Structure 1
Amino acid sequence: MLGRAGSVGAVISGLLLVDKPAGLTSHDVVARARRALGTRKVGHAGTLDPAATGLLTLGVGPATRLLTYLVGLDKQYTTTIRLGQATTTDDAEGEPLGEAAPTAALAAVTDERLAAEVTRLTGEIDQIPSSVSAIKVDGRRSYDRVRAGEEVTLASRRVTVSAFAVTAVRRGPDAVEVDATIDCSSGTYIRALARDLGTALAVGGHLTALRRTRVGPFAVDTPDTITLDALVSAGESGSAASLLATPAHVAERLFPVVAVDDAQTRDLSHGKKLDGLDIADASPVAAVDPQGRLVALLSVERGRARILTGFPQDS
């Protein structure tokens, strides 16, 4: 379990793992965290659509500097894909595209065909993101261009779907609903997987439910993750800072760790390089002081360390 100690001196700093409910944007969650903690310096790593639920990682204060390293972590999702109709947004929010698949076409989606196409969408694949995405095209978000009536086709990108496990299939006259658990690299669009699965099976498809259950080593179903209601309630009682995981505990889950003494801590706080560290070459390396605080992230080569990012300990 992650350590809790949100503030050091006058600085509020740490990571919040929030189970985002449906109906809110990621920015809505950030806004509520800002009010609860009484600070503007709150950011998130990895947007969730309003209809999606699950793990949203928030950085607070100096710990927002860790978000850069959280964004690129692999993710896990549970999802429901509805086969039988494509939509303009590749999810249930969009308008239907074309005709719904006839009953005979849906009946042809056998377990064997489904398994074969899921296998083809597993591993390293070239994926064209959904046009209704936050990717920028000539300085504007793709979804803004689509909503303005423009036709947008995004370039494909290489992503990795390390696991695409079908957990349930429900068959009806109008659709085949597929529940799945998906492990994937950062930048993978689950909506696009739903679209591409439907296209491959010649029946169309779109996403109807999405829940992010893991970001790197952080999971939604652990005591470290809190509900948004719990965060708001803690803010009302003035105890929200106690919900933060310390930067050191977060860094220890992500990087190799080197203990630094008080003299080395002072040197790092002044931006100096360190020599003679007994640790294998790596980057980043978390430097933790005798009080258990994250001092800096380092790049270490042949025992010599330079600072990548420093973390202030007081105001």
Structure 2
Amino acid sequence: MENSGLVIVDKPSGWTSHDVVGRMRRLARTRRVGHAGTLDPMATGVLVLGVGKATRLLGHLALTEKGYDATIRLGVSTNTDDAEGEVTATASAASVPDAALRAGIAALTGPIQQVPPQVSAIKVNGERAYKMARKGEEVELAARPVTVRDFAVLDVRRHDDVIDVDASIACSSGTYIRALARDLGASLGCGGHLTALRRTRVGPYDLGMARTLDQLAGELEILPMGEAVAAVFPRRDVSDDDARKVAHGGRLKAAGLGPGPVGVFAPDGSLLALVEEHGDVAKPLAVFTS
């Protein structure tokens, strides 16, 4: 019988998120594997995978905030806004004072409008921006609202004409950390790009829960769906009658548990469904009993 649940992977550098999914399909012996929130190949850290029925859960997970440890190099710009791209410009950052650096970071903290990197998976007229950029086409990407809740400097290292800034960042889903590096450098007049990125948290799932692919090859740890849902959403335990109703896609009376998804559990503690309350009814978003 197929196991269903989440696997929290500590993604290695050099792997795409799809590479990790492919490895997990072999480890879990099922094609039903997906991921929530892509990580660039250069990046390491928390990647949430869904196995079996949990692939239907991924799109509903309220993974609205993510945490990162990043290193930004000021004084060098690249065409991808990270170290994997080609250098497009250099300008000495030696004269950038600490006060200007702090002010630049403060301006990128809170609700901001962010233009995604030219080399990104954003679709423009049905085509991925990175494919257009590789063909030499100029990509016009619209700014999008994102929120950087915290942008804390951990260390500042000055080397001749460049400055390396280590930072811890908490932000909304959809925020590009390499765009923050680009925009910080642009605001300081010296350019900037991302040289290292490690995702430390996705929603409630953090590095303490993550396992490397080698560890998972030795022991495949799958977080049961019930635990995964209870960690993110309000929990609602129902009677046998309501459990049968939900299992067949029926609606329940609202319980006043909020506008977002609510996990519905049977009397035996098993996960039945995710529902969403609208007025006085709770409508199923996803049913996991079949």
User: What TM-score range do you get, normalising by the shorter chain?
Assistant: over 0.9
Q: Which position in structure 2 is the counterpart of 1:308? A: 285
CA distance in 1, matches of 2:191, 2:178: 12
Provide closer, same or farther for how the CA distance between residues 71 and 301 of structure 1 changes in structure 2, counting only shifts above 3 A. Answer: closer
Residue 234 of structure 2 contacts residue 257 of structure 2 at CA under 8 Å; is this kept in 1? no
Deviation at 1:282, TM superposition (A): 3.7
Q: 2:149 aligns with which of 162, 166, 179?
A: 162
The alignment status of 1:194 with 2:189, answered yes or no, reads no
CA distance in 2, matches of 1:13, 1:244: 7
The alignment status of 1:232 with 2:217, answered yes or no, reads yes
Q: Which position in structure 2 is the counterpart of 1:24? A: 15
CA distance in 2, matches of 1:20, 1:298: 31
CA distance in 2, matches of 1:282, 1:143: 36
Residue 46 of structure 1 contacts residue 71 of structure 1 at CA under 8 Å; is this kept in 2? no
CA distance in 1, matches of 2:87, 2:279: 59
CA distance in 2, matches of 1:51, 1:107: 27
Provide closer, same or farther for how the CA distance between residues 271 and 232 of structure 1 changes in structure 2, counting only shifts above 3 A. Answer: same
Q: SS of the counterpart of 1:112?
A: helix
Deviation at 1:302, TM superposition (A): 5.8
Q: Which position in structure 1 is the counterpart of 2:134? A: 147
- Paired positions, count: 290
CA distance in 1, matches of 2:280, 2:115: 43
CA distance in 2, matches of 1:283, 1:178: 37
* Structure 1: unaligned runs, 5 residues or longer: 1-9, 235-239
CA distance in 1, matches of 2:13, 2:159: 26
Q: SS of the counterpart of 1:263?
A: helix
Q: Percent identity at matched positions?
A: 52
Q: Which position in structure 2 is the counterpart of 1:264? A: 242
CA distance in 2, matches of 1:71, 1:24: 25
Superposed counterparts of 1:24-103, under 5 Å: 24-70=15-61, 72-98=63-89, 100-102=90-92
Deviation at 1:262, TM superposition (A): 2.5
Output the amino acid matched with 1:22: S
Q: SS of the counterpart of 2:264?
A: strand
Deviation at 1:284, TM superposition (A): 1.2
TM-score (norm 1): 0.88
CA distance in 1, matches of 2:240, 2:214: 40
Deviations 1:1-33 (A, max 9, x none): xxxxxxxxx242100100001011100100010
Residue 44 of structure 1 contacts residue 56 of structure 1 at CA under 8 Å; is this kept in 2? yes
TM-score (norm 2): 0.95
Q: Which position in structure 2 is the counterpart of 1:284? A: 261
Output the amino acid matched with 1:89: T
Provide closer, same or farther for how the CA distance between residues 278 and 140 of structure 1 changes in structure 2, counting only shifts above 3 A. Answer: closer
CA distance in 2, matches of 1:263, 1:15: 29
CA distance in 1, matches of 2:190, 2:285: 50
CA distance in 2, matches of 1:283, 1:170: 43
Q: Which position in structure 1 is the counterpart of 2:251? A: 273
Residue 44 of structure 2 contacts residue 197 of structure 2 at CA under 8 Å; is this kept in 1? yes
* Structure 2: unaligned runs, 5 residues or longer: none
Residue 258 of structure 1 contacts residue 279 of structure 1 at CA under 8 Å; is this kept in 2? no
Deviations 1:276-314 (A, max 9, x none): x6544543111011222110111235653221110025x
